[in-house]
Amino acid sequence: MTAPGTTTDWLRRLHPPGRGEARLVCFPHAGGSATFFHPVSARFAPAAEVLAVQYPGRQDRHREPCLTSVGELADRLAVELAPLPPRPTVFFGHSMGALVGFETVRRLERNAPESAPRSLVVSGRRAPSTRRPERVHELDDAGLLAEVRALDGPDMSALDDDFLALILPALRNDYRAVETYRAADAAVVGCPVLALTGRDDPRTTPEEADAWRRHTDGGFELEVMPGHHFFLVDQAQAVCDRLGEQLALAHGGRARPPRG
């Protein structure tokens, strides 16, 4: 589901663009795709331009090799985003997407500051400087699917073997990218950061989400919402309300939430 809003292989419009002054760029979770953000796009387009990232190795890009690290993904996305017409922009990344969004901001602030976002919203992911000894990408296929179920992720029980064979390589690759990612404690972005997390997320505690404050020279705010790792599905209204606030602040040139 990309037409009629397809832009590039990497950046998708899921709804026809309007004349909105602000831009929202959405970065998916491990194994996720651009279409995960269809409800978010429906909420804000065409009042805002909504772009969803499509990583290689999935859906219509399933024949392309996956990139093997968060840094590689961020390198490519920074190149894709830099030429876009300047517009007040908010980045929104869930889980792996939070890390990819963070690293993409760092590259844009360094190399194309006019294209850097005015705010970064990170969801369902502990801060880059936090560490856990996780090796999910080394599990067999059954173990990998069990991990997805443990996170209340998409139900794959009804998928046949052929379809799973298309999905699992990208999922495993994404887990490898996340679990081998390392950021220095001093890695920061200049824009403010809003961190959202589920109260019962087994992969991110509120304290680990709060550690994002160490990675911004701008303002910081944390909001803990009811729910599990994919709390943003059940809490879609509340999440979109916060995104709407960030877009309004970005458009007004003052996307700087107070330090919490």
Interatomic CA distance for residues 134 and 138, integer angstroms: 9
Interatomic CA distance for residues 115 and 245, integer angstroms: 20
- From 67, 93, 72, select the one nearest 173 (Cα to Cα): 67
Contact 56, 66 (CB under 8 A): yes
HSE value, Cβ hemisphere, 13 Å, CA-based, for 52 = 26
Catalytic residues: 95
Q: What is the residue type of 221?
A: E
Interatomic CA distance for residues 55 and 38, integer angstroms: 16
The DSSP 8-state label assigned to residue 191 in this structure reads: S
- From 29, 25, 26, select the one nearest 198 (Cα to Cα): 29
Contact 43, 19 (CB under 8 A): no
